[in-house]
Amino acid sequence: MLPSFSAALTTQRILAPAAKLDDVKSQPADDATRAVPVEFAGPGNLVLRGQRSGVDGRWVVLVHGVGRDLDGWGSLATWLASQGLTALAFDLPGHGASDDPWDPQNAVASVAAAVDFARSEGSRHVHIVGEGVGALAALGVTASGLGDIASVTALSPQAEDRVARVSDIREARVSKLIVVGSLSRTSAEFAEAVFRSAIGPCEMARFPIAAQGTDLLYGEWGSQVREKLLAHLVRQG
């Protein structure tokens, strides 16, 4: 049994943008960034469907929240591919093009299935970026040892005990980045709870906006959030 130790915690409060940057705009996709439809087996014989963008061996699995689908990531997958990464955006069960039904208790297994798919496609390193309940599931996969994960980025993690409890996800010992809009008290308080309970390296970035989840990636602070995300991914290989 591994000894318990406190997290190497760092936190960053973003106070003001240096300049207002344009949102990510759709660009004509070349072979390296074009989205390719994929499907793979999920829990309980469900078929999960999504899109792969990029050809690099470093993969980023994108996990949306409840009531969303892969379209919520907007052009992030293409942008990550343009940065030399491979992005896999997929729909959780009961969402988008994936098979029904949605069962919160299958969320962690669904993310694990996406990681397994990335491995089967020859990935060397797998990172997970999740939003809302998807962020909780991403941390749950890492904490349960279901995959050898390089890092996790949690955009506005949302409480849902049927997916994973804070007491469970604290065991996710990989490098973690938690990003939240600080103007939502509920979101900020839960993100802080995840951050404070973390074991292992964990950084938290607060942006002075009410937007949460994938909405953090766009708008006035979008470019800063994306650059923060990219720096975390690159730093962890």
d(CA 133, CA 137): 6
- Please say if the pLDDT value at position 197 is more than 90: yes
Planar angle of CA 98, 150, 205, nearest 5 degrees: 90
Mean pLDDT, all residues of the chain: 89
Q: What percent of the chain has pLDDT above 90?
A: 83
Q: How confident is the model at residue 11 (pLDDT cuts 50, 70, 90)?
A: low
Burial status of residue 102 (CB atoms within 10 A of its CB: 0-12, 13-18, 19 or more): middle
Domain segments of the chain: what residues?
A: 36-235
Segment 115-129 mean pLDDT = 96
Helices (H), the chain: 76-82, 107-120, 133-144, 166-169, 185-197, 222-235
Q: How confident is the model at residue 21 (pLDDT cuts 50, 70, 90)?
A: very low
pLDDT given for residue 16 in this prediction: 39
Q: How confident is the model at residue 29 (pLDDT cuts 50, 70, 90)?
A: low
d(CA 144, CA 136): 12
Planar angle of CA 212, 218, 219, nearest 5 degrees: 100
Instruction: Write out pLDDT tens, residues 33-45.
Output: 999 999 999 999 9
Tokens 């915690």 belong to 9
Tokens standing for residue 54? 């990029």
pLDDT given for residue 32 in this prediction: 80
- Please say if the pLDDT value at position 19 is more than 60: no
Segment 180-186 mean pLDDT = 97
pTM of the predicted structure, to 2 decimals: 0.89
pLDDT given for residue 26 in this prediction: 46
pLDDT given for residue 237 in this prediction: 80
- Please say if the pLDDT value at position 3 is more than 70: no
| Least confident segment among 24-28, 97-101, 123-127, 175-179 | 24-28
Angle between helix 107-120 and 133-144 (nearest 10): 70
Please give the torsion angle defined by the CA atoms of residues 218, 176, 234 and 14, in that order, rounded to the nearest 10 degrees: 50
Q: How confident is the model at residue 146 (pLDDT cuts 50, 70, 90)?
A: confident
CATH 1.10.10.10 fits 36-235, yes or no: no
Q: How confident is the model at residue 145 (pLDDT cuts 50, 70, 90)?
A: confident
Which has more pLDDT, 171 or 26? 171
Which has more pLDDT, 124 or 27? 124
- Please say if the pLDDT value at position 193 is more than 90: yes
